[in-house]
Structure 1
Amino acid sequence: MNISIFSVTENGRQLSQRVAEMLRGEHFVSRYCFHKHTDDDSAVFWNMGSMVGRLFQRSDAFIFICACGIAVRAVAPYLGTKADDPAVIVMDDHGKFAIPVLSGHIGGANCLAEIIAESVGGTAVITTATDVGGKFSPDSFAVANDLMITDLKAAKEIAAAVIDDEKIGFSTEYPHSSLPDELTAFGICRTGIYVGNDISAKPFDVTLRLLPRNIVLGIGCKKGTPEADIEKAVLETLERYRVDIRTISEISTIDIKKNEEGLCAFAEKYSLPVKTYTAEELMSVSGNFESSDFVLETTGADNVCERSAVLCSGGKLVIHKTAGDGVTVAAAEKPIYLDFERKIL
């Protein structure tokens, strides 16, 4: 996580040093001190709101060592949606309390507050109903297992049902740890959670679909193929097989395509890393792949998209080779394990 720590007083400056030292190593931490109380390890600010504004888009979490009102006014102009806002935690300058005030579940503020409080001998003040009642939180489960929440309204309704002691259904084909008491894989439930890549799945009247980011796209293309042609081929393939592009974790291909302009531009547009492999590495992958003599003669591997997707994912093909306009596309699924005990940080 990219964490920004703000302090106002001398006690706050000293406390920010302790917190930063504890968090560094696991996270990237920057300290910002009011100009009257600063040190060589921190940046100086005169106006907290302006500094927060410059950092807001690139910070995963803010820790304010000051009064709650000061922190709230500093972040308020920049707040967006529950799914996008960073974690915000407020501490008093004696370290007695750490209070998550924003993004307790999705942003991990609750867990971060508990870690900070324990490290300085303080108390984390958690106010979210599921945590206070020791109940299952769909938001926390999703974030901890790198699952995308597709419907915040459904997530809110399920959280409310949990608090009301309503049984919540659970549906998935992935292996998982034991279900918490609030969930059941059997019987008929009004609300429930589906984890999978089928964007049309709705096993419950109120279904919260959680999408894993575990699909690897294997792409092959002719030299000089424009970005638009690659994008068109990918999107049409994903639509045909009902795969949400948000589930794509990375792109794989052969090493001779690592500087292919159209492919690199497509990857950059969707913020997807590209992994490349030699022809020898691709040909060493076992499996039943569609072979092409032309591709073998050109690249040294008889199939680029399928072989690279399987090699990169360590899993199985979910979309076999599709071809059109000089582009071949395949997809493979990384194996995942859903852990209900996993924490966000």
Structure 2
Amino acid sequence: MKQIAVISFTKKGAELNKKLCRGLILSDTVLLGFSMEKYMDEKEEKTLDSFTSIHKLMEELMKPPAEFECLSGLVFIGACGIAVRAIAPYIQNKAKDPAVAVVDEGGNYVISLLSGHLGGANELTKQVAAYIGAVPVITTATDTRKVFAVDSFAVKQALYITDTAKIKVISGALLNDEKIGIYSEYPVSGQLPAGLGHENQSKGICISATEGLQPFHFTMHLLPKNLIVGMGCKKGVEPEIMYNRLQKIFSEKGLRMERICKLCSVDIKKEEPGLLKLADKLGVDFQTYTVKELQQVSGSFTASAFVENTIGVDNVCERSAALGSGYGKQLIAKVSGEGMTLSVYEKEYQINF
């Protein structure tokens, strides 16, 4: 579940904060409201948490494991200057920074301040503005010029950008009316946006699971996030052990962890702390299936009599990954060790313009 912190500094701002936290519905997202303590109304149902110092609040939000990169967004209700000073110590890069938007306390304007494309600030700005009847202020050049934005495209198509520094080269070329090539190992449907072409170009984007491909002199690689990890474990396995084990196996198989889009298991493990924390660290959904659902999965799997006698199904990791991927392609068969089993499947993928 994603989290967005909404922070206000005045009485009027607190009212707008409560309106957002009580009514704005965002997919798979929880809004956490924070108001200056002196503007809290103790008689009302508590919607907001209080703070006395914005710097201390930011430090609290930043404490592990709630690192800055784990927040999907921040909405400041107040002056842009306050927001800039508050986030300045925690800004890292395009790949890690969350969406940051600023709303004036009158609710007239919503400004996309940081991570407009990859972090989703532009989309967040539009959603907040639509809900409160404000004007969205978006200043990214590709949006104002209505030019194809490769980073927005990557977010919408569930693609991982291997080198975010190349975004500005591709975007800069498009803004200068240069043609950009596109190469994809996966099916492409729909009409290509203006500026993109399949013909040979000096610069282009490559959508592939193979990072070594260089279809263009300057190639920007986009990897599909279409890997499903199925996992079973003993009770109490630490998430760090799970993560390190997964990382080691992915490295051995030449796969990128950033391609993982879902973690799956059996429903008796739906409250297992290690699996929940692993999914959170990976930034993916954790989906579980009943024993009956797993029993009904067709295919050839590595059976375990012990597991079957214990929970009622002969395999958890492969069956759950197969089901979670929609019966995709098995990339890693069952691997056991350190109190866990895991398997990886690749689901079908295509680009939709």
Q: TM-score, normalised by structure 2?
A: 0.76
| Residue 34 (structure 1) aligned with residue 25 (structure 2) | no
Please state how far the C-alpha of 1:315 moved relative to its aligned partner. Answer: 3.3
Number of the residue aligned with 1:194: 206
Please state how far the C-alpha of 1:231 moved relative to its aligned partner. Answer: 8.0
Q: Would you say how many aligned residue pairs link Structure 1 and Structure 2?
A: 334
Please state how far the C-alpha of 1:162 moved relative to its aligned partner. Answer: 1.5
Does the CA-based 8 Å contact 1:196-1:210 persist in structure 2?
yes
Does the CA-based 8 Å contact 2:227-2:262 persist in structure 1?
yes
| Residue 43 (structure 1) aligned with residue 56 (structure 2) | no
Mapped partners of 2:280, 2:99: distance in 1 = 26
1:1-345 matched pairs, under 5 angstroms:
1-24=2-25, 26=27, 27-39=29-41, 40=44, 41-56=47-62, 57=68, 58-172=70-184, 173-184=186-197, 186-218=198-230, 238-239=250-251, 241-251=253-263, 271=282, 273=286, 275=288, 278=291, 284-287=296-299, 289=300, 295=304, 299=308, 306-319=318-331, 321=333, 330-340=343-353
Q: Which structure has the bigger radius of gyration?
A: 1
Q: Could you tell which deviates more after superposition, 309-318 or 153-162?
A: 309-318
Q: Could you tell which deviates more after superposition, 158-167 or 2-11?
A: 2-11
Sequence identity, in percent?
34
AA matched with 2:11: E
Does the CA-based 8 Å contact 2:301-2:319 persist in structure 1?
no
Mapped partners of 1:22, 1:258: distance in 2 = 29
- Structure 1 gaps of 5+ residues are 341-345
Instruction: Rate the CA distance shift 1:322–1:10 in 2: closer, same or farther, 3 A.
Output: closer
Please state how far the C-alpha of 1:83 moved relative to its aligned partner. Answer: 1.4
The superposition leaves residues 208-253 of structure 1 with CA deviations (integer Å, 9 ceiling, x where unpaired) of 222222112456899xx99999989866764565322321334556
Does the CA-based 8 Å contact 1:174-1:338 persist in structure 2?
yes
Mapped partners of 1:193, 1:264: distance in 2 = 35
Instruction: Rate the CA distance shift 1:194–1:266 in 2: closer, same or farther, 3 A.
Output: same
Mapped partners of 2:131, 2:301: distance in 1 = 56
- SS of the residue 2:152 aligns to: helix
AA matched with 1:82: K
Mapped partners of 1:13, 1:259: distance in 2 = 35
Please state how far the C-alpha of 1:6 moved relative to its aligned partner. Answer: 1.9
Does the CA-based 8 Å contact 2:267-2:289 persist in structure 1?
yes
Mapped partners of 1:265, 1:121: distance in 2 = 37
Please state how far the C-alpha of 1:143 moved relative to its aligned partner. Answer: 1.5
Instruction: Rate the CA distance shift 1:207–1:42 in 2: closer, same or farther, 3 A.
Output: same
Does the CA-based 8 Å contact 2:35-2:51 persist in structure 1?
yes
Mapped partners of 1:152, 1:196: distance in 2 = 16
- Structure 2 gaps of 5+ residues are 63-67
AA matched with 1:42: L
CA-based RMSD of the aligned residues comes to 3.9
